[in-house]
């Protein structure tokens, strides 16, 4: 499972997220997307921990918590829909 973190402070760095989530387990992956055109942070991130039970605890503990001056949203990330399903759905 991947954890989605939204409403992040624009000052958030990958190291900040790794530090926060390391309280719940080993951080396997941390991704803080940037806007392709401006290079600015987009205000959300994705984190993977070493096991799902740790991820569920982190989601429960951190939901609607104020962190770095913002009330963050933390929930299970949704997988991107594949292009294949788009073509099938639209008979392309």
Distance from C-alpha of 41 to C-alpha of 16, rounded to nearest angstrom:
14
CATH number of the domain residue 69 falls in: 3.30.70.330
Sequential DSSP letters for 15-45: HHHHHHHTTSS-EEEEE--B-TTT--B-SEE
Q: Which domain holds residue 35?
A: 3-89
Per the structure, the count of domains in the chain is 1
Report pTM: 0.82
Q: What is the pLDDT along the chain (92 residues), one digit of tens a residue?
A: 899 999 999 999 999 999 999 999 999 999 999 999 999 999 999 999 999 999 999 999 999 999 999 999 999 987 665 545 545 555 55
């Amino acid at each position: 499972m991947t954890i989605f973190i939204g409403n992040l402070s624009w000052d958030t760095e990958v190291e900040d997220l790794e530090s926060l989530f390391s309280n719940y387990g080993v951080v396997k992956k941390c991704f803080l997307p940037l806007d392709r055109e401006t290079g600015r942070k987009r205000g959300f991130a994705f984190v993977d921990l070493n096991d799902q039970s740790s991820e569920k605890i982190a989601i429960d503990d951190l939901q609607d918590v104020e962190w770095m001056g913002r009330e963050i949203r933390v929930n299970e990330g949704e997988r991107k829909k594949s292009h294949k399903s788009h073509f099938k759905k639209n008979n392309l």
